Structure 1
Amino acid sequence: MTERPPLLDPRGPRFVAAVTTVVLVVILATGSGWLALAQAAVFALGALGPRRSPYALVYAKVIRPRLGPPGELEDVAPVRFAQRVGLVFTLAAAVAYLAGGWVVGTVLAACALGAAFLNAAFGLCLGCEAYVLLGRLKAKS
């Protein structure tokens, strides 16, 4: 008997992306490498499991109880992969900002912002799409 993959409410990752969008806007407005490093830590927790992110905990404890049941559930693996991608971008942005590379930090944070905004506003998770694409490429080889 095959084990079913863990599933989650897709509204949670969208909420997480909305909060992340706000944080990334502040990072871009201030050029704060320390805030970028804090966001990288949030992504690191999310990469361990999307429900471990502090933003996801807020969703689970404050928002989710006030909503009806989700219309569908989604696999955790693509979301975990997307969190890893966000970790790479924000960690690199933090290093760049803290090393004085304002332009590089800004470009990396802007890329992360674009991805977070697309997920928050339209439900388009670029990291999740990359996960599916990589899975298809791996299956063909």
Structure 2
Amino acid sequence: MSRSLPSALTFPNPVNEYAARATAGLVVVLAVVAVIVNSPIVYGLLALGFVLRVMAGPRFSPFGRLSVHVIVPKIWRKTKLVPGPPKRFAQTIGLVFSGTAFVLSLLGFGLAAQIVVGLLIVAASLEAFVGVCLGCVAFGFLQRQGIIPETVCEACNNLSLRQPAS
């Protein structure tokens, strides 16, 4: 049975924290390459990865699939389920940064693109190596301020709705 387009474009909820961290590590590697090479093509690939992950989580993203199907089950072998909406929000912020870098590089502002991606490297490194998701922190802040409705992520504020770690 084939999936309908809307169901194929859903973001997973919950998300394995370790898969998100592995994906962030892969983003760090590509982002460092982007800064070194300073080419619109590499910035475009970085932005495309974020587009794919924002659309449907790891389903269409090579980095997401590698994290979910290889790195986590065969190397890390850990599961910690966390709410999906903050992770999608974080991916969206990554898209804004990488998309901005892509446009800047197309317009000939390579140094500006490198600086923007440098900021992305800092955020992705915090996620990958420390387990701190800045986008998730921002999501929580916006939710507490009422800017993001609680209905977007009820599990974010209600610990009883979260699934236990295994």
Same fold (TM over 0.5): yes
Match of 1:20 in 2: 27
Q: Is the 8 A contact 2:139 2:148 kept in 1?
A: no
Q: 1:35 to 1:61 in 2, by over 3 A?
A: same
Among 110, 127, 130, the alignment partner of 2:135 is 127
The RMSD of aligned alpha carbons is: 1.9
Match of 1:65 in 2: 73
Query: 1:75-128, CA deviations, whole angstroms, 9 ceiling, x for partnerless residues?
Result: 110110111100010011011112111221111111111111111110111111
Q: Which structure ranks higher in relative contact order (CA pairs < 8 Å, sequence separation ≥ 6)?
A: 1
With the length of structure 1 as denominator, give the TM-score of the two structures: 0.88
- After the TM superposition, which of the residue ranges 74-83 and 53-62 deviates more from structure 2? 53-62
* Stretches of structure 2 lacking an aligned partner (at least 5 in a row): 1-11, 150-166
Match of 2:39 in 1: 32
Offset, 1:61: 1.9
Q: 1:29 to 1:10 in 2, by over 3 A?
A: same
Number of matched pairs: 136
Query: 1:17-72, CA deviations, whole angstroms, 9 ceiling, x for partnerless residues?
Result: 000000010111111121111111100111123223221101222223325452x3
Structure that is richer in helix per residue: 1
With the length of structure 2 as denominator, give the TM-score of the two structures: 0.76
Please list, as runs of the form range in 1=range in 2, the aligned pairs for 1:70-81 lying within 5 A after superposition.
70=79, 72-81=80-89
Q: 1:51 is paired with a residue of what secondary structure?
A: coil
Identical positions, percent: 31
Q: In 2, distance between residues paired with 1:68 and 1:107?
A: 35
Q: Which runs of 4+ in 1 moved over 4 A?
A: none
Q: 1:77 to 1:102 in 2, by over 3 A?
A: same
Q: Is the 8 A contact 1:50 1:76 kept in 2?
A: no
